[in-house]
Amino acid sequence: MIVEDEVLIALDIQETLELAGYSAIGPFVTNAAALRQIHEHLPSAAILDINLGRELSFPIADALAEAQVPFVFVSAYGRESLPAAYGGRPLLSKPLPPHRLIEQIRLLIGAD
């Protein structure tokens, strides 16, 4: 699941995932859209941009954590932008090097 409000970044993430053999859903650009998707069908893992323009993705992170779905935050900001509850969650810095993204997804879902 891709939650990213910047279209070009979302397309780049989607292409990177698909080239590595993963199926990607999204991008979802608002909390409401992502939460609807989570309610309808839980993803195996998620990539969450922290800043979605006018809102932050923490409600999505809360729903994923409650459902025990692994996720990684992506942001141009540092770890200090995360609430304490998510301080131990993986965080990738933008721009996302494709190999780092795939490495993190493999860690999240336990795939080789």
Domain ranges of the chain: 2-98
Confidence class for position 81, pLDDT limits 50, 70, 90: confident
pLDDT given for residue 101 in this prediction: 95
Direct distance between the N- and C-terminal alpha carbons of the chain, in angstroms, rounded to an integer: 19
Q: What is the mean pLDDT of residues 72-79?
A: 89
The arrangement of strands across the sheet holding 2-3 comes to: 2-3, 46-49, 71-75, 91-93
From CA 44, how far away is CA 75, in angstroms rounded? Answer: 21
Q: Is the per-residue pLDDT at 112 higher than 80?
A: no
pTM, two decimals, is: 0.92
The phi-psi region of residue 99 (left if phi > 0; otherwise alpha if psi is between -120 and 50; otherwise beta) is: alpha
Architecture of domain 2-98: 3-Layer(aba) Sandwich (3.40)
**Phi first, then psi: what are they for 56, rounded to 5°?**
-105, 155
